[in-house]
Chain A
Amino acid sequence: MSLSQELQTALVVCFSAVFTQNILLTLFLGMCPFTSVSREVRTALGLGGAVVFVMTCTVVLNWMAYHWLLVKLDLEFFRFVLFIVIIAAFVQFVEMVIDRYSPRLYQNLGIFLPLITVNCAILGASLFMVIRDYTLLVSLGWGFGAGVGWLLAILAMAGIRQRLDESRVPVGLRGPGITLIIAGLMALAFIGFSGVLG
């Protein structure tokens, strides 16, 4: 595959990861923070931003570790352990760096980083990258797109929930109940995108 072809695939994968293959709304990964941290647009944005960053970087790092180490040593089955360890170490490292060099960013993003270490969407993104046999460049597009898709979904949810506070939700459905119903409706809406990228 030539570079330009590869770039094109990366772009398509990136786009489809945002809309048609949205990791949250079609694959239902990362539901836990999605339901619990979507009360306010501001926090949702912070968490979403952190997810985009961590997902992009860890997918790339994990690609390298997988192809340059595990495949060479014939140890593919170890990918789960390796990916988790790499994600955890990476998050630690990033937290340290931004704490040191950008107190302002730390205030906005830093508190969300520990929550991300155990987010299944992050691990999921790396595992899909393996299953779907993406190249490095395409993985980059995939990681970034998946992150942005997640951000988009949680942002939309937070916007809706902020308005929900003013409307009268049936008593038994308050909180997680109505959130899941809305997530279902949003997922349906996102399926509407599936025709866009054949």
Chain B
Amino acid sequence: MKQETLIPKIGVVTDIRIDTPDVKTFRVVGLDGKKVFEHMPGQCAMLSIPGVGEGMFSITSSPTNTEFMEFSIKKCGCLTSWLHMMEVGQQVTIRGPYGNAFPVTTDFQGKDLLFIAGGIGLAPLRSVINYCRDKKDEFGSLHIIYGSRSKDDLVDYQEILDEWMTDDNVRVDLTIDREQEGWDGHVGFIPNFVKELKPDLNRTVLICGPPIMIKFTLDGLKELGFSEEQVYTTMELRMKCGIGKCGRCNIGDKYVCKDGPVFRFDALSELPNEY
């Protein structure tokens, strides 16, 4: 019988990191101990516990990681609650990789990049950030603006402190929504923070986060003088098949699972505002 992408492979959870009260990061390998498949930054995979459900998740690890894949998963329903109860050694089913990717081998080459993430929205961007850090020669400098509700809700906080902030080529600006004890960094919402920081206008921008944050941040960027052609984002719509056939995830004539999830804003603004 021919290969069938809808029939999943087995993944084994080899490590679980507690990121925040509702986000955990899972390390996954195949039964042979190797990566289940290769991917490019921005692509996703369908994870499932048979009988519980199947869901689409960004592959948050970089393709330059040759040993395993990682997923940062926010607890918000049936499947994700189950995944949060898992222990090391649990098997899951996995299929993919699905979707397009950020144009890291083409349009991003040689560019200075600006990453703007809110909450769990860091998951897809982390893959790009670590890819660019591992392939320094191919990219300019990286500027990361990341915010969450509170200090405890910052995903990948330890990695940000230990690896990104100590990297000469990377600038990181963090913010949280409200004052909190033990936090002497910036306080305030991301869109305003971006306007205050006035990032370089020559940067190519990647935004990911809740829809409302994306909307206001984009407005702010335009006010600063950024054009839609400079800004990329990833979309999140309900998905079942992941391959443009079940008919579920379209925005106009584009299927987010196949033609996305990465879109440049000028392309997105030509589509019906149904997302």
A and B interact:
no
